[in-house]
Amino acid sequence: MNYLKKNFSLKNYNSFKLDVTTSNFAKFSSLEQLNYLLKKNNKKLLILGGGSNLLFTKNFEGTILYNNICGISIIKENKQHITVKVGAGELWDNFVSWSVNNNYSGIENLALIPGNVGACPIQNIGAYGMEVKDTIEKVIAVEIKSNKIKEFKNVDCKFKYRESIFKKKLKNKYIITHVLFKLSKSHLNITSYGDVSNELKKLKLDANPKNISLAVSNIRNKKLPNPKQLANCGSFFKNPTITRQKFEKLKKKFPEIIGYQISEQKIKIAAGWLIDNAGMKGYRIGDAGVHKNQALVLVNYGNASGKDILNLAKIIKKKIKEIYNIELENEVTII
Ligand SMILES: Cc1cc2nc3c(=O)[nH]c(=O)nc-3n(C[C@H](O)[C@H](O)[C@H](O)COP(=O)(O)OP(=O)(O)OC[C@H]3O[C@@H](n4cnc5c(N)ncnc54)[C@H](O)[C@@H]3O)c2cc1C
């Protein structure tokens, strides 16, 4: 275990590359170490994974614990499925590689999403027609207050689009240590989202978990800025849901508006389209900017502060409200 470090720089621990510090920082790689750190700590606490969904707006006055519990092990198996227990500190994309290399299906469309396994339930990560809620069997976590282990069944996690109980009611109350996934031995082959089937055709590959993860990775590499080259946190805002009635009204004014039906009366709108159509793609204030190709992605060109990025987000929200009367909600957690 790395014992508590004082005034520790988080620059290499957040994908916006913000130059902030935390009063205390420690890494743990076992339940015993976590137990010890929790007993010792009397400050405000934050659990950090890959830092790819966080915006630090100031120095953190408290203790940041970096979860480094690793390991992937099959704990149950039958003809159709396996249940696999994964340490929260495993890199998400390494787990996707493990799954597709073993020919299991259920998370292949989520290839190349940055971050660690422990954070995947927090906002129910999703991409290209898959959400992680559909494979999560259980989440194992330690309650910060009592230092006791609690198991959350899938239904207890209250998963929704980019939401779970851990992002709402239980925010900062539990530390996820392991996630149990139920993966399928038969192939789901979801290829109808984005350009997945076109990419497979281009590569002259059949649909199977490994090939789909390759196709998704290729598409993501072309479309999304790599945080190692241009600091960002992926989509900054959620895609808003509006009523069909409001959608029809907007469609008259903006015939090109992009919406997906999610129920009889609800339509999910592409927030990137709203921002792009508002003329804000590529918009920049100092080093805080809207990405030039992906309007949903805010970037740090170098020396932006968390406050600069938050200020840009506020300006975008105001404009979107004025033009479309839609309130954008942050997907990224603001600290
Ligand atoms: C280029 C790029 C593309 C992205 N694409 C997608 C995408 O397609 N789909 C998608 O859903 N997301 C996407 N994201 C967002 C991000 O990768 C995910 O939300 C990811 O799950 C965050 O993982 P992390 O380990 O970096 O979490 P962090 O940013 O470290 O933490 C996020 C939140 O979870 C909490 N947390 C983290 N670990 C734990 C734990 N073990 N126990 C309790 N709380 C914890 C933190 O306190 C924080 O509140 C993208 C990000 C980037 C930079």
* Cα of 120 from ligand 1 centre, angstroms: 6
Q: For residue 137, what are the contacts with CB-CB under 8 A and spacing of at least 6?
A: 83, 153, 154, 180, 181, 182
pLDDT at 220: 94
At how many degrees (to 10) do helices 209-223 and 92-101 cross?
Answer: 150
Q: Is the shortest distance between the CB of 54 and ligand 1 below 6 Å?
A: yes
Q: Which atom of ligand 1 is nearest to the CA of 124?
A: 11
| Cα dist from 279 to 88, 276, 290, 313, whole Å | 40, 5, 11, 14
Q: Is the shortest distance between the CB of 240 and ligand 1 below 6 Å?
A: no
Domains in the chain, start-ordered, CATH in brackets?
Answer: 2-67 (3.30.43.10), 72-223 (3.30.465.10), 231-334 (3.90.78.10)
Q: Is the shortest distance between the CB of 50 and ligand 1 below 6 Å?
A: yes
Q: Is the shortest distance between the CB of 233 and ligand 1 below 6 Å?
A: yes
Q: Which atom of ligand 1 is nearest to the CA of 123?
A: 19
Q: For residue 221, what are the contacts with CB-CB under 8 A and spacing of at least 6?
A: 112
Q: What are the residue numbers of the active site?
A: 162, 235, 331
pLDDT at 2: 63
Alpha helices in the chain (DSSP H): 31-40, 92-101, 196-203, 209-223, 244-253, 271-277, 306-324
Per residue of the chain (335 residues), give pLDDT as tens: 667 888 999 999 999 999 999 999 999 999 999 999 999 888 999 999 999 999 999 999 999 999 999 999 999 999 999 999 999 999 999 999 999 999 999 999 999 999 999 999 999 999 999 999 999 999 999 999 999 999 999 999 999 999 999 999 999 999 999 999 999 999 999 998 878 999 999 999 999 999 999 999 999 999 999 999 999 999 999 999 999 999 999 999 999 999 988 888 999 999 999 999 999 999 999 999 999 999 999 999 999 999 999 999 999 999 999 999 999 999 999 99
For the entire predicted model, the pTM comes to 0.94
Among protein residues, the one with the nearest Cα to ligand 1's atom 20 is: 115
* Cα of 54 from ligand 1 centre, angstroms: 7
Q: How many CB atoms lie within 10 A of CB 312?
A: 22
pLDDT at 286: 96
Q: Is the shortest distance between the CB of 124 and ligand 1 below 6 Å?
A: no
* Cα of 118 from ligand 1 centre, angstroms: 9
